[in-house]
Structure 1
Amino acid sequence: MNTQPMLVGWAHSRFGKLDAPDVEALMRDVIDDALAHAGVVAEDIDAVMVGVYNNGLTPQGFEGALAALAQPGLRFAPAMHVENACATGSAALHAAMDFIAAGRGKLALVIGAEKMTAVPGRAIPDILMSGCYRREESNPDGFAGIFGRIAQTYFARHGDHSDALAMIAAKNHANGVRNPYAHLRKDLGFAFCNAPSEHNPFVAGPLRRTDCSPVSDGAAAMVIAAPEVAMTMARAIRFRARVQVNDFLPLAKRDPIAFEGARRAWGKALGHAGVTLGDLSLVETHDCFTIAEMIEYEAMGLAAPGEGWRTIEEGVTTRDGRLPVNPSGGLKSRGHPLGATGVSQHVMAAMQLAGEAGDMQIADATLAGVFNMGGAAVANYVSIMERAK
């Protein structure tokens, strides 16, 4: 019998350059809607886990305490701020599920949020470098510089597959048109994504602007319930598996294009769930850069090492392919407000499984995979989810 806590309600703000002045305001946009979607009130919540990366994006820290300001009914619920780089949202989800699984409560609220556009754009690359091993990896281009080098290493070993990266970008932009929450809702097409130009310049190494996820504001929230409570509610999404695998922080201590932590996380999750990749209806994966999504095809087992480019060229991961990947548009189109991303990915998957994904809906979706990573495949989270009710 599966005793894992279940997902029973959610909410999602639009992602983009938003008028909301701070993280507190972003939280306010999603908390009440998530509670209402679950059919509970704030006073029912036994714990609040808040995922915000921050590290200089905003001056206000102590973000766990902001939840009660956004919703006063949470005043006396224990609340905690969680941070794990770009996997902050998934870390908050795991903390909430662990809280309930330990018997400390029946209902938990997970909030992921980030206000990234309040600081000058030129400051963002350095702020985000706190998610890498600064001693060795600091560079003026930030994480684009790191993933630019990853792309160069991949191309040096396996050939230049810039066209495959452009196909991934075009796929995710096309999918994002269907997503009302997405930051970028424009189908750019393969030709634009593949051709460097004034409007699509090189950013770092072989990566063009269309190979990079945007700087976004946004928030998402989820209500997690003990299984016996979840089965009394209107909807319940079960976790067949949830796994975290970490790897060394410095890329110099590992093969930078192997994504070994991600590979191990996928292997464990599929094993725990008792399913194969072929059983999945869709995957929401962490495409902070298109090269990341391509290597993640290999890590999840869709392609052999060095052959991830075949996956997109053969149409495997398109919306009508054998395994749709990022039908929400992914980070590339939906946006990447760091603390919100992992929560957002799980909300997108839950919407599919509940049949509530609107224009994004994949027909007959029964089993979904989610991959969220912190840093360059350092903190690796995989969830396998299905509808329980």
Structure 2
Amino acid sequence: MDLGVNIIGAYHSSFGKLEGETLYTLYEKAVKGALQDAEIEAAAIDGVFVGNYSGGAFNRQENIASYGVNAIPELRHKPMYRTETACSSGSSAIHMAIMAIKSGMMKRVLVVGLEKMTDLDIAGVTEALALATYWPEEGSKSVTAPCMFADLAKGWMKKYNYTEEQLRPWLAQISSKAYTTAAENPLAQLQKPKSAEDILSLPDEKNPMIYQPLRLHDCSLVSDGSAALVLEDATLSSGKSVAIKSFYSAADYLDSFGKSKSDYFLEGAAFAVDKALKGAALKIEDISLAEVHDCFTITELLLYSAIGIAPAGREFEALESGKVFPDGTLPVNLSGGLKAKGHPIGATGVGMHAYIYKQLMQEAWGHQVKDAQRGLVVNIGGSGTSNAVSVLESF
């Protein structure tokens, strides 16, 4: 299947604690940057879709989509929409934009993802992120993302009879891979490589337990940033484009792992990957590289089975074989991932797509995969509650 929708331009800010930036400046730079990269004027845009998790909690600003008019007055009276599916908000905006083009109502669309998280202290960030849980039974009882993904790690260890001592080196390899690839990405938040041995040898005060068995170096970052894409109907596209071959978004139970859904396998992600690959008439072996959701190192580890590159219960084989490293057969998170590139929630999914787009255009930010032809994006919102997957292909 060919959706007939192409990416023709992308923008990606630096991710990190961006002093002097606001939600508004991040938005403005994103839309202008994407239009410049696509080499088109704002007048050619039919609509704007914005992924933003919680401008209200982080910045006291809901209703952010229409700020596109303030950023570029030529967009006045164009339709603008905001999507929110927790950490997959940006990918949801992309998927909505694709549907708008496929409907025939729009031909060219701007997609923006943005979040400004560092204006709040850690307590404020924790409270804002807890709004993505099932509030009556989780957020209101101080259940946070580290708690939920720690439960996933514990469920996996229990199911397959592994100890924390066995798990830690595998998670350290994932962290190390993220730090090392991020050091090559000029847009990444963290720029200092670390080996797995460096991480494992840290004293507890340098790598404290956040929620057992997850430690500080197993967790993604609190970040600011924005990213944007220009999508258009393929009948309009020039040679400077990458096709979105297929996409799928699989919703799952709002509550945490181990209640109504598995606590040892990422069922929603696996379902969405299977649908997206079949929609593109491809197998995982056809994919050149992948950007997957490593909100915690355990998430990336379990995504190896969800995307089909290692058996469930033996996900570490993807690490031990070298498959997911930069010179492997399916490099994963060459950007540095959420772990080291950064995780400004609403910008994450758009940033993942932008990174794959640049790889397929042979214009990578950082490590370039030689002759990359197809890329996979796997972006998860909440505790596996929103699973957004896209397959991209170069011409």
TM-score by length of 2: 0.95
Aligned-partner SS, 1:373: strand
Q: Is 2:197 the counterpart of 1:188?
A: no
In the alignment, the residues of structure 2 paired with residue 20 and residue 50 of structure 1 have an alpha-carbon distance, to the nearest angstrom, of 22
Question: Once the 2 structures are TM-superposed, how far is the Cα of residue 253 of structure 1 from its aligned partner?
Answer: 0.8
Aligned-partner SS, 1:173: helix
Match of 1:153 among 155, 159, 163: 155
**Is the Cα–Cα contact under 8 Å of residues 106 and 226 in structure 1 kept in the other structure?**
yes
In the alignment, the residues of structure 2 paired with residue 292 and residue 199 of structure 1 have an alpha-carbon distance, to the nearest angstrom, of 22
Partner of 1:246: 251
In the alignment, the residues of structure 1 paired with residue 115 and residue 58 of structure 2 have an alpha-carbon distance, to the nearest angstrom, of 8
Q: Is 2:344 the counterpart of 1:337?
A: yes
Tell which deviates more after alignment, 310-319 or 79-88.
Answer: 310-319
The change in CA–CA distance for 1:361 and 1:173 in structure 2 (over 3 A counts) is: same
Question: Once the 2 structures are TM-superposed, how far is the Cα of residue 353 of structure 1 from its aligned partner?
Answer: 0.3
Tell which deviates more after alignment, 271-280 or 343-352.
Answer: 271-280
| Amino acid corresponding to residue 166 of structure 1 in structure 2 | A
In the alignment, the residues of structure 2 paired with residue 327 and residue 201 of structure 1 have an alpha-carbon distance, to the nearest angstrom, of 26
Matches within 5 A, 1:1-389: 2-54=2-54, 55-138=56-139, 140=142, 142-158=144-160, 159-160=162-163, 161-197=167-203, 198-230=205-237, 233-251=238-256, 252-388=259-395
| Amino acid corresponding to residue 307 of structure 1 in structure 2 | R
Residues 213-261 of structure 1 show CA distances to partners (whole Å, capped at 9, x for unaligned) of 010000000000011112xx34111112111111111131111222111
Aligned-partner SS, 1:238: strand
Segments of 5+ residues of structure 1 without an aligned counterpart are none
| Amino acid corresponding to residue 188 of structure 1 in structure 2 | K
Segments of 5+ residues of structure 2 without an aligned counterpart are none
Question: Once the 2 structures are TM-superposed, how far is the Cα of residue 153 of structure 1 from its aligned partner?
Answer: 1.8
The change in CA–CA distance for 1:14 and 1:358 in structure 2 (over 3 A counts) is: closer
The change in CA–CA distance for 1:124 and 1:37 in structure 2 (over 3 A counts) is: same
In the alignment, the residues of structure 2 paired with residue 48 and residue 66 of structure 1 have an alpha-carbon distance, to the nearest angstrom, of 10
Aligned-partner SS, 1:360: coil
Superposed CA RMSD = 1.4
In the alignment, the residues of structure 2 paired with residue 90 and residue 214 of structure 1 have an alpha-carbon distance, to the nearest angstrom, of 19
Residues 274-331 of structure 1 show CA distances to partners (whole Å, capped at 9, x for unaligned) of 1111111100000000000001001011111111122112211001112100011111
The change in CA–CA distance for 1:246 and 1:239 in structure 2 (over 3 A counts) is: same
Aligned-partner SS, 1:303: coil
Residues 92-123 of structure 1 show CA distances to partners (whole Å, capped at 9, x for unaligned) of 00111111111112110000000000111211
**Is the Cα–Cα contact under 8 Å of residues 151 and 263 in structure 2 kept in the other structure?**
no
In the alignment, the residues of structure 1 paired with residue 21 and residue 338 of structure 2 have an alpha-carbon distance, to the nearest angstrom, of 22
| Amino acid corresponding to residue 181 of structure 2 in structure 1 | N
Aligned-partner SS, 1:50: strand
**Is the Cα–Cα contact under 8 Å of residues 14 and 182 in structure 1 kept in the other structure?**
yes
**Is the Cα–Cα contact under 8 Å of residues 4 and 235 in structure 2 kept in the other structure?**
no
In the alignment, the residues of structure 2 paired with residue 4 and residue 83 of structure 1 have an alpha-carbon distance, to the nearest angstrom, of 25
| Amino acid corresponding to residue 133 of structure 1 in structure 2 | Y
In the alignment, the residues of structure 2 paired with residue 317 and residue 173 of structure 1 have an alpha-carbon distance, to the nearest angstrom, of 14
| Amino acid corresponding to residue 290 of structure 1 in structure 2 | T
**Is the Cα–Cα contact under 8 Å of residues 51 and 112 in structure 1 kept in the other structure?**
yes
Residues 71-99 of structure 1 show CA distances to partners (whole Å, capped at 9, x for unaligned) of 22212211111111100000100111111
Question: Once the 2 structures are TM-superposed, how far is the Cα of residue 347 of structure 1 from its aligned partner?
Answer: 0.4
How many percent identity over aligned positions?
A: 35
In the alignment, the residues of structure 2 paired with residue 140 and residue 247 of structure 1 have an alpha-carbon distance, to the nearest angstrom, of 22
In the alignment, the residues of structure 2 paired with residue 142 and residue 215 of structure 1 have an alpha-carbon distance, to the nearest angstrom, of 14
Aligned-partner SS, 1:351: helix
